[in-house]
């Protein structure tokens, strides 16, 4: 949690793209939202859904197809 807090503080005043990259590769997020175990054969939608709802588009502004496709795109990210 300490390192994640540092990430948020460090990235707070940067552009959205840079912040999302840092948050996505943060070990705490990879673990907590199961992104580290997501594979192309079995993409996990947890992070994808949170990314859209909490960080970018807001509730109700994306479809389940968006979530599935985003999960496929993010599948395979690993802990550093």
Question: How far is Cα 46 from Cα 49, in angstroms, rounded to an integer?
Answer: 5
- The whole-number pLDDT of residue 49 equals 94
Handedness of CA 19, 31, 74, 66 (dihedral sign): negative
Q: Find tokens 């997501």 and name the residue.
A: 38
- 6-43 b/e (C-beta count within 10 Å ≥ 16 → b): ebeeebeeeeeeebeebbbebeebbeebebbebeeeeb
- The whole-number pLDDT of residue 29 equals 82
- The whole-number pLDDT of residue 57 equals 92
| 79 pLDDT more than 80 | no
Tell me the two tokens of residue 74: 């993010």
**Using one digit for the tens of pLDDT, what is the confidence trace for 41-65?**
999 999 999 999 988 999 999 999 9
**Using one digit for the tens of pLDDT, what is the confidence trace for 13-40?**
899 899 888 888 888 888 888 888 899 8
Q: What is the pTM of this model?
A: 0.77
| 1 pLDDT more than 80 | no
């Amino acid at each position: 949690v300490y390192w994640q807090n540092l990430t948020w503080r460090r990235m707070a005043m940067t552009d959205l793209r840079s912040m999302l990259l840092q948050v996505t590769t943060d070990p705490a997020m990879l673990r907590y939202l199961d992104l580290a175990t997501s594979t192309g054969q079995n993409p996990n939608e947890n992070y994808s859904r949170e990314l859209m709802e909490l960080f970018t588009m807001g509730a109700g502004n994306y479809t389940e197809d968006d979530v599935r496709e985003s999960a496929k795109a993010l599948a395979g990210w690993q802990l550093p």
